[in-house]
Structure 1
Amino acid sequence: MFRILAPAALIALTACTTEVQEAEPQISLELMQDVTRTLSSDAFEGREPGTPGGERTVAYLIEQFQAAGLQPGNAGSWVQEVPLVEMTSTNFTPLTVGDLEFEHGSQWVGVSYPQVERTEITDSELVFVGYGINAPERGWNDYEGLDMAGKTALILVNDPDYAEEGLEGPFNGRAMTYYGRWSYKYEEAARQGATAAIIIHEDFPASYGWNVVEGGWTGAQLYADTGDGGADATAMNGWMTRDAAAQIASAEGLNLDELIAAASQPGFEAIPLSQSVSASFDSTIRRFTSSNVIGILPGNQAPTEYILHTAHWDHLGRCGAEGEEDQICNGAVDNATGTAALVALAAAHAEAGPTARTQVFLAVTAEESGLLGSEYYGANPVYPLDRTVAGVNIDALYVLGKAQDVTVIGGGKSELDGYLADALAAQGRTSTPDAAPQAGRYYRSDHFSLAKRGVPMFYIKSGQTLSEGGAEAGEAAYEEYNTNHYHAASDEYSEDWDWTGVMQDLNLYFSLARALGDTGEWPNWNEGDEFRAIRDASCASDNEGC
Structure 2
Amino acid sequence: MKKLFVAIGAAAAITACAHDPQNNTGALQSGADAISTELHRHIAELASDAYEGRAPGTPGEEKTIAYLVEQFQALGLEPGNQGEWLQDVPITSVVPSHDAVLSLRGSDFSADLAFGDDMMLFTLQQMASTRLDDSPLVFAGYGINAPERGWNDYADVNVTGKTVVVLINDPGYATQDPDVFNGNAMTYYGRWTYKYEEAARQGAAGVIIVHETAPAAYAWDVVRSSWSAGQIGLTAENRNADRAAVQGWIPVEQAERLFAAAGMDYAQMKAAAARPGFRARPLGDIAASVTLNNQVNSMVSRNVVALLPGSESPDEVVIYTAHWDHLGVRPNEGDDDIYNGASDNASGTAALFSLARMFKDQDTPPERSVMFLAVTAEESGLLGSKWYGENPVFPLQKTVANFNMDNIAAGQLGLTRDVAVVGFGNSELENYLLDAVQEQGRVVVQEPFPEKGFYYRSDHFSLARVGVPALYLTRSTDSIEHGKEWGAARLNRYIRDHYHKPSDEYSPDWDLRGAVQEVQLLFTMGNKLANNSDFPRWNDKVEFKATREATMAAPASPSNTENGQ
What TM-score do you get using the length of structure 1 for normalisation?
Answer: 0.92
CA-CA distance at 1:532 after TM superposition: 2.2
Structure 2 counterpart of 1:336, from 337, 346, 361: 346
Output the CA distance in 2 between the equivalents of 1:544 and 1:285: 36
Structure 1 counterpart of 2:360, from 326, 350, 371: 350
AA partner of residue 394 (structure 2): Y
Distance change >3 Å, CA 199–CA 330, structure 1 → 2: same
What are the residue-to-residue correspondences of 1:108-257 with 2, within 5 Å? 108-165=119-176, 167-169=178-180, 171-228=181-238, 230-257=240-267
CA-CA distance at 1:544 after TM superposition: 8.4
Output the CA distance in 2 between the equivalents of 1:326 and 1:220: 24
3-state DSSP class of the match of 1:376? helix
AA partner of residue 396 (structure 2): L
Distance change >3 Å, CA 91–CA 528, structure 1 → 2: closer
Counterpart residue number, 2:534: 521
CA-CA distance at 1:540 after TM superposition: 2.2
What are the residue-to-residue correspondences of 1:378-527 with 2, within 5 Å? 378-397=389-408, 398=410, 399-527=412-540
Q: Which runs of 5+ in 1 are unaligned?
A: 1-6, 11-21
Judge which range, 525-534 or 133-142, deviates more.
525-534
Output the CA distance in 1 between the equivalents of 2:230 and 2:63: 21
Counterpart residue number, 2:13: none
Counterpart residue number, 1:70: 77
Q: Report if aligned partners of 2:447, 2:474 keep a CA contact under 8 Å in 1.
A: no
CA-CA distance at 1:533 after TM superposition: 2.4
Q: Deviations over 1:107-151 (max 9, x none)?
A: 311111111111222322111111011122322221222221221
Q: Report if aligned partners of 2:118, 2:254 keep a CA contact under 8 Å in 1.
A: yes
Residue 372 (structure 1) aligned with residue 383 (structure 2) = yes
Output the CA distance in 2 between the equivalents of 1:192 and 1:466: 48
Distance change >3 Å, CA 239–CA 309, structure 1 → 2: same
Output the CA distance in 2 between the equivalents of 1:376 and 1:438: 27
CA-CA distance at 1:93 after TM superposition: 2.2
AA partner of residue 188 (structure 2): Y
Output the CA distance in 2 between the equivalents of 1:163 and 1:247: 21
Output the CA distance in 2 between the equivalents of 1:518 and 1:288: 40
Counterpart residue number, 1:16: none
CA-CA distance at 1:8 after TM superposition: 8.4
Distance change >3 Å, CA 256–CA 484, structure 1 → 2: farther
Output the CA distance in 2 between the equivalents of 1:105 and 1:483: 24
Q: Report if aligned partners of 2:395, 2:557 keep a CA contact under 8 Å in 1.
A: no
CA-CA distance at 1:239 after TM superposition: 1.0
Structure 1 counterpart of 2:101, from 94, 102, 105: 94
AA partner of residue 206 (structure 2): A
CA-CA distance at 1:311 after TM superposition: 0.6
3-state DSSP class of the match of 1:289? strand
Q: Deviations over 1:328-378 (max 9, x none)?
A: 211111111111111121122212242111110000111111111111101
Residue 359 (structure 1) aligned with residue 364 (structure 2) = no
Q: Deviations over 1:382-423 (max 9, x none)?
A: 111111111200011122211111110122121111110010
Q: Report if aligned partners of 1:454, 1:534 keep a CA contact under 8 Å in 2.
A: yes
Output the CA distance in 1 between the equivalents of 2:444 and 2:128: 49
Q: Deviations over 1:166-193 (max 9, x none)?
A: 5321x12112112111111111111111
What TM-score do you get using the length of structure 2 for normalisation?
Answer: 0.89
Output the CA distance in 2 between the equivalents of 1:302 and 1:232: 37
3-state DSSP class of the match of 2:270? helix
Output the CA distance in 1 between the equivalents of 2:556 and 2:144: 36
CA-CA distance at 1:91 after TM superposition: 4.2
Q: Deviations over 1:446-493 (max 9, x none)?
A: 111111222111111131111122221121122112222211222111
Counterpart residue number, 2:279: 269
Q: Report if aligned partners of 1:387, 1:545 keep a CA contact under 8 Å in 2.
A: no
AA partner of residue 85 (structure 2): W
Output the CA distance in 1 between the equivalents of 2:176 and 2:242: 37
Counterpart residue number, 1:60: 67
3-state DSSP class of the match of 2:54? coil
Output the CA distance in 2 between the equivalents of 1:483 and 1:259: 35
Structure 1 counterpart of 2:51, from 25, 44, 53: 44
3-state DSSP class of the match of 1:28? helix
CA-CA distance at 1:101 after TM superposition: 2.5
User: Percent same amino acid among aligned pairs?
Assistant: 46
3-state DSSP class of the match of 2:242? coil
AA partner of residue 479 (structure 1): N
RMSD: 2.1
Residue 538 (structure 1) aligned with residue 551 (structure 2) = yes
CA-CA distance at 1:212 after TM superposition: 2.1
Distance change >3 Å, CA 34–CA 126, structure 1 → 2: same
Distance change >3 Å, CA 194–CA 324, structure 1 → 2: same
Distance change >3 Å, CA 152–CA 528, structure 1 → 2: closer
AA partner of residue 336 (structure 2): D
CA-CA distance at 1:25 after TM superposition: 4.8
AA partner of residue 58 (structure 1): I
Output the CA distance in 1 between the equivalents of 2:254 and 2:504: 33
Counterpart residue number, 2:42: 35
Q: Report if aligned partners of 1:92, 1:280 keep a CA contact under 8 Å in 2.
A: no
3-state DSSP class of the match of 1:231? helix
Q: Deviations over 1:209-266 (max 9, x none)?
A: 2222222211142110141252221001111111121221233343221111111111
Q: Report if aligned partners of 2:427, 2:537 keep a CA contact under 8 Å in 1.
A: yes
AA partner of residue 505 (structure 1): E
Counterpart residue number, 2:16: none
Q: Report if aligned partners of 2:172, 2:178 keep a CA contact under 8 Å in 1.
A: no
Counterpart residue number, 1:290: 301
CA-CA distance at 1:39 after TM superposition: 1.3
